Amino acid sequence: MKRYWLIGIVSVFFTPLVDATTLERDLGRGLVYMRVAQVPDDLPVRSQAPAIVLDLRYASGEDIREWLFMYAAPQTPIFVLANMTTQKTLRQSMQGVSGSITIGIAGEDFAPDIALNMTEEEEKRAYEALNLTDEINNLLYPATHKERYDEAAMVKACNETRKTVTEPQADAQATAPIIDQAILRAVQIHRGWLVLRSG
């Protein structure tokens, strides 16, 4: 009984506090995004998409090498997203498979083909943001907008000089657009691949 109690405690502390819900989104031009929480249970048996972004960040499982050998090829590339929270056995099994490219934040025992320059917190925010929207492009190409000013707004700004000096700095991080650099990089590589293939 004590043994099972200890196992329960360990599993609580070492389970990533991230909602790795299985998701699928269309990225356009023959590229599909698939988020997997558990390997091999959540892996698609077959996909009609010519190319796949397979998100294994925060995923658990033992081995994905056989699945990659079955589906990844130069004509049907698979972009595998992973991080240090991806189970170690998965990270090890995804390396060096022809037709697949690993993308993520490099770590002590994880050297992806494409290393991202972002923090773990930024990645986590972007990952969780996808749970809240069906529009994956919002995390790749944030909408830009121009500030609109009128006379009343200008008067108000003049009356609150001190406030306007300090607020932008405090709110800069909160208002910064959330970009999923891993998915964006996969899309950029895929678009470049399409150009080369058509040339």
Q: Among candidates 145, 158, 33, 43, which has minimal Cα distance to 94?
A: 43
For 139-198, write each residue's pLDDT tens digit. 888 654 444 444 554 444 445 544 444 445 445 455 678 999 999 999 999 999 999 988
What pLDDT sits at residue 19?
A: 57
Question: Does position 95 have pLDDT exceeding 80, yes or no?
Answer: yes
Bridge partner residues of 51 (DSSP): 31
**Mean pLDDT over residues 21-46, rounded?**
91
For 24-34, write each residue's pLDDT tens digit. 999 999 999 99
Characterize the bridge pairing of strands 100-104 and 60-61: unpaired
What pLDDT sits at residue 48?
A: 73
What pLDDT sits at residue 199?
A: 72
Q: Among candidates 20, 49, 57, 16, which has minimal Cα distance to 33?
A: 49
For 97-142, write each residue's pLDDT tens digit. 999 999 999 999 999 999 999 999 999 999 999 988 878 888 888 6
Secondary structure of residue 52 in the 3-state scheme: strand
For 48-94, write each residue's pLDDT tens digit. 788 999 999 999 999 999 999 999 999 999 999 999 999 999 999 99
The domain at 18-147+178-198 falls in which architecture? Alpha-Beta Complex (3.90)
Q: Among candidates 70, 57, 39, 58, which has minimal Cα distance to 102?
A: 57
Question: Does position 3 have pLDDT exceeding 80, yes or no?
Answer: no
H helices of the chain, in order, are 2-14, 65-71, 88-93, 120-129, 151-159, 161-175, 181-198
